Structure 1
Amino acid sequence: MQHEYAIRRRPSLSLPILRKSRSQHRAGTLTLGNLLLDLGGTSFGWAIVLFSLVTLLPLPPGSTLVTALPLLLTTGQMMLGYPHARIPGRLSQLRLDPQRLRRTLLGLRPVTRRLERVLTQRHTWIFAPRNERLLGLVLFLVALALFLPVPFSGWFPAISLFISGIGLVERDGLVTGLGVACGAISVLFTGLVLISLAAGAEALIH
């Protein structure tokens, strides 16, 4: 009973982001780099969480061609065995809209509520250095599916990366695995859509 109560009382996953973004906004220093640094910018987990959130912001169609680039960079670094995420200066200076960030986090509450109930440190072998590159490769492919301008496919890869990033932050191998599994489905879906589009284009040509 005490354990169940502790799970129910777990702080919201979005609380650190909301608090730090509000504080930095008041100070006039709210940028992607500063927020990441405040959250613990050397971890790949927070970088993936933040960059996937930026992708989920209400932006014009086709914006993933730009917003997915930091995710490709971060997961690519993870795949190549970098010790931590390295964010280029120009990208780190990107200013964030705190209201849009807040609305996006509130929109993700159905996802984060479920994660908050189950998150705990487990299956940490998945984060061993020998597995990190493989994990980075899979997440890179998910980020690539997000980057490609395929109709109706943007949200699913972004949410998959968000879940994977939360799992990395909390050292929860089960949640990370869930995010990776959802990401694999999104990669498959993107591939099928691309094949269908190519087949349709070929039929029109011939």
Structure 2
Amino acid sequence: MNRNRGFRRRVSLSLPILRTSRDQHDAGNLTLGSLLSGLGETSFGWAVVVFALMTMLPLPPGSSLVTALPVLVTTAQMMLGYRHVRLPGPLARLRLDHDKLRRTVLRLRPVTRRLERVLRPRTPALFRRRNERALGAALFVIAFTLFLPVPGSGWFPAISLFVAGVGMVEHDGRVTIWGLVMGAASVLLTVAIVVSLAASAEAVIP
């Protein structure tokens, strides 16, 4: 018997984002809000996936102070018990660069291919209503590390959020837990970098 029979398997995690962003770019209205709406979802899972991608776009140093805001807002809303994502107007109207988004999505193909092979609905208890606030709080802590201008710490929490968000989209609790574990490691890494930088500064300043 095929144990996976009946499971809905996504052909590609990247394709919906690439198609939607291309169509909206061609129409001249590619924004954060339109991309999320174009994916047909206002769920927290898709929002975390899309906004984690934003933080990985090739942008000038210091841009994380802006790109991390949507994922911070989203995870905060989840932590506070909102049922759906409600992007503030200025964030919803934030314009995206299709070419940079496409390059970032394609650069993540080694990660998404691995996820596509294992994704299936499981560990549903994680997504029950009573657990959403705790899940949102954990994601918010990980997202907060993106907001900190700490050199060398941004990529790992962004990947962690991406993995956790994909798990949420596909209702795969195990993959979401993997993302949370990776996120916890990224928080510890950020703390270690901050402590190291503080110790170095203290040693330099008499």
Partner of 1:190: 190
Structure 2 counterpart of 1:135, one-letter code: L
1:59 Cα deviation from its structure 2 partner = 0.6
Give CA deviations for 1:75-100 in whole Å, capped at 9, x if unaligned: 11111111111101111111111111
Q: What TM-score do you get using the length of structure 1 for normalisation?
A: 0.93
User: What is the identity percentage for the equivalent residue pairs of Structure 1 and Structure 2?
Assistant: 65
CA distance in 2, matches of 1:167, 1:196: 33
Partner of 2:104: 104
Tell me the secondary structure at the aligned position of residue 68 of structure 1: helix
Give CA deviations for 1:92-129 in whole Å, capped at 9, x if unaligned: 11111111111111100000000000000000100111
Give yes or no for contact 1:167–1:176 (8 Å, CA) kept in 2. yes
Give CA deviations for 1:50-84 in whole Å, capped at 9, x if unaligned: 11111111111121111111111111111111111
Matched, 1:168 2:141: no
CA distance in 2, matches of 1:18, 1:5: 28
Tell me the secondary structure at the aligned position of residue 193 of structure 1: helix
Q: What TM-score do you get using the length of structure 2 for normalisation?
A: 0.93
Partner of 1:145: 145
Give yes or no for contact 1:40–1:46 (8 Å, CA) kept in 2. no
Partner of 1:38: 38
Structure 2 counterpart of 1:198, one-letter code: A
1:22 Cα deviation from its structure 2 partner = 1.4
Partner of 1:178: 178
How many residue pairs get aligned? The number is 205
**Where do 1:60-79 residues align within 5 Å?**
60-79=60-79
CA RMSD of aligned residues (A): 1.9
Structure 2 counterpart of 1:167, one-letter code: G
CA distance in 1, matches of 2:83, 2:4: 36
1:4 Cα deviation from its structure 2 partner = 7.9
Tell me the secondary structure at the aligned position of residue 149 of structure 1: coil
Give CA deviations for 1:4-29 in whole Å, capped at 9, x if unaligned: 8999x851101111111111122222
More helix by share: 1
Cα gap change, 1:5 to 1:60, in 2 (>3 Å): farther
Partner of 2:15: 15
The runs of 5 or more residues in structure 1 that have no matched partner are none
Tell me the secondary structure at the aligned position of residue 67 of structure 1: helix
Structure 2 counterpart of 1:108, one-letter code: L
The runs of 5 or more residues in structure 2 that have no matched partner are none
Tell me the secondary structure at the aligned position of residue 39 of structure 2: helix
